[in-house]
Amino acid sequence: MPPSVQDGRVTKNKSSSRRSSTRQTSQSNQESKEYKQNQPLPLVERTNALPIEQFKPTYAPTISEPFRLKIPTDKSKDDSTPNKSKEMDYVLDLYTAKTIPSADFEACFGLIELTSSNAYDGSSMGWSPSKKRKEMKLPDMKYLIARRGARNSDNTSAKEPILGFLSFMVTYEDGKEVIYCYEIHLSPEAQGLGLGRQLMLTCEDIGQRVGLEKTMLTVFKSNTKAMRFYERCGFGVDEYSPQPRRLRNGTVKEPDYLILSKMLDNDDPWQTD
């Protein structure tokens, strides 16, 4: 009598049962995997998965358009018209941390070191070139690079020196889908021309086109100039900005930085046509 038939009852062979269970588990895992593969990626992951060649026309279609800014003649190479201003052409380039040319990457790092290393040194974070470089190379980091000049016939920008840059990431912050501005820095000669405003406008425009909730950034309280700039841009202290902490000895420790944010919507008066 087969071992599966005992006392008039039909019983399952244990090894056969285990094989059947294994097949069912494998099939279930495969179906689950196929289901996940067929589901659309969440917005943040879907956006970051795009190669830069697709990201540009989808979320930064105006990036190829040159723009003009008025500059005092004492900040230009031509001083033939004193006490007047002149217009000059500027362009923006967009890169990922992987595609940014090494010379541009080093120029961006140099601007951070020039304009902000002292602020880092005087903060609780401290200044660490290696940590900053590591942050700058995060896979989803993107760079808006500003230069003086116009587009070439092949739509590339003339390799003029970098005047400023803004780095940003499409990411999550406290469960919200945001565009986070990591850095915005201008060379001394480019400050006060409206170039920082143009970089920020472009960053916000990208965030709106992606469909994100808000723009966020971090600023040291000691950087009063940057604080005033962000206020003019419409930023305010975010609800998740760190609060003062009371230490065991009763001393209240104030944070040395703030997290600022700005909601992204189509009726924003900061936006221009």
Q: Is the pLDDT of residue 73 over 80?
A: no
Closest CA to 132 of 145, 121, 144, 146: 121
Residue 143 lies in a domain: yes
Domain tally for the chain? 1
Question: pLDDT digits over 137-192, tens only?
Answer: 999 999 999 999 876 665 656 678 999 999 999 999 999 999 999 999 999 999 99
Higher pLDDT: 153 or 103? It is 103
Residue 11 lies in a domain: no
Residue 257 lies in a domain: yes
241, burial (CB in 10 Å: exposed 0-12, middle 13-18, buried 19+)? middle
pLDDT at 218: 96
Residue 125 lies in a domain: yes
Residue 268 lies in a domain: no
Higher pLDDT: 26 or 188? It is 188
pLDDT at 7: 44
Query: Could you list the residue range(s) of the whole structural domain that residue 126 is in?
Result: 43-263
Q: Is the pLDDT of residue 256 over 70?
A: yes
Q: How confident is the model at residue 272 (pLDDT cuts 50, 70, 90)?
A: very low
The C-alpha atoms of residue 184 and residue 170 are separated, in whole angstroms, by 16
Tokens for 193?
Answer: 């021309």
pLDDT at 86: 84
pTM exceeds 0.85, yes or no: no
Residue 28 lies in a domain: no
pLDDT at 164: 97
The C-alpha atoms of residue 251 and residue 245 are separated, in whole angstroms, by 8
Residue 78 lies in a domain: yes
Residue 60 lies in a domain: yes
**Which domain CATH number covers 117?**
3.40.630.30
Higher pLDDT: 31 or 265? It is 265
The C-alpha atoms of residue 31 and residue 101 are separated, in whole angstroms, by 43
